[in-house]
């Protein structure tokens, strides 16, 4: 009987020691978020008579993780006098051509309306939160696209505004 108790006590001591070791293991590391960058976009159309019309806007913040691959964002997208709801394209590694055109690797498109409605937009709008990830990007590009109808020429066109935000943690 003593041998059984001794073996049980030994097994119990071993189990306690092992469980203490397991409980003492460090938790996995998570990336920390850096400082926030503000973003402000305004798409507008210009008529054949030179009249400028605000079509849509984006305002909010973007934040990089210290690993440099992911951003999180909170953006308010407003429809102003646009012919249709604006939408927002998010891409990585944007480059501007000599002609002023931006090209990037597309990551996501945010179509409107979606998100949390806000009353601060005169034509309607929503606040969108989310994340986007790319492999070792040097920047993330935000392009607002809105539909503009020019009543002087009877033409519909998409108008845009873009902003690229550099990744402060990019490692070449």
Q: Which of 71, 113, 72, 111 is nearest to 89 (CA)?
A: 111
Q: Is the pTM of this model over 0.85?
A: no
The whole-number pLDDT of residue 46 equals 92
The whole-number pLDDT of residue 22 equals 47
Q: Which of 124, 43, 33, 148 is nearest to 76 (CA)?
A: 124
Find which of 17-26, 108-117, 134-143, 163-172 is predicted with most confidence, using mean pLDDT.
Answer: 134-143
Residue-wise pLDDT for 73-105, tens only, equals 999 999 998 878 999 999 999 988 888 777 888
Q: Domain residue spans in the chain?
A: 33-166
Q: Where are the beta strands (DSSP E) in 66-168?
A: 70-79, 84-96, 102-111, 116-117, 125-133, 139-150, 155-166
CA gap 137, 128 in Å, rounded: 22
**CA gyration radius for the chain?**
26
Q: What does CATH list as the number for 33-166?
A: 2.60.40
Residue-wise pLDDT for 1-47, tens only, equals 555 455 545 555 555 454 554 445 555 555 688 889 999 999 999 99
The whole-number pLDDT of residue 25 equals 53
């Amino acid at each position: 009987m003593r041998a059984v108790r001794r073996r049980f006590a030994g097994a119990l001591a071993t189990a306690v020691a092992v469980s203490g070791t397991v409980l003492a293991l460090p938790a996995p590391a998570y990336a920390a978020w850096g400082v926030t960058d503000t973003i402000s976009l305004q798409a507008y159309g210009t008529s054949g008579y030179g009249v400028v019309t605000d079509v849509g806007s984006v305002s909010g913040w973007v934040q990089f993780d210290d690993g440099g691959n992911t951003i999180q964002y909170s953006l308010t997208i407003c429809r102003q006098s646009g012919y249709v709801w604006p939408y927002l394209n998010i891409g990585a590694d944007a480059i501007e051509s000599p002609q002023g055109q931006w090209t990037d690797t597309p990551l996501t498109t945010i179509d409107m309306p979606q998100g949390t409605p806000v009353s601060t937009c005169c034509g309607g709008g929503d606040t969108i939160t989310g994340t986007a990830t790319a492999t070792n990007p040097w920047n993330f590009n935000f392009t607002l696209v809105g539909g503009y109808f020019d009543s002087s020429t009877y033409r519909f066109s998409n108008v845009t505004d873009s902003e690229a935000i550099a990744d402060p943690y990019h490692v070449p």
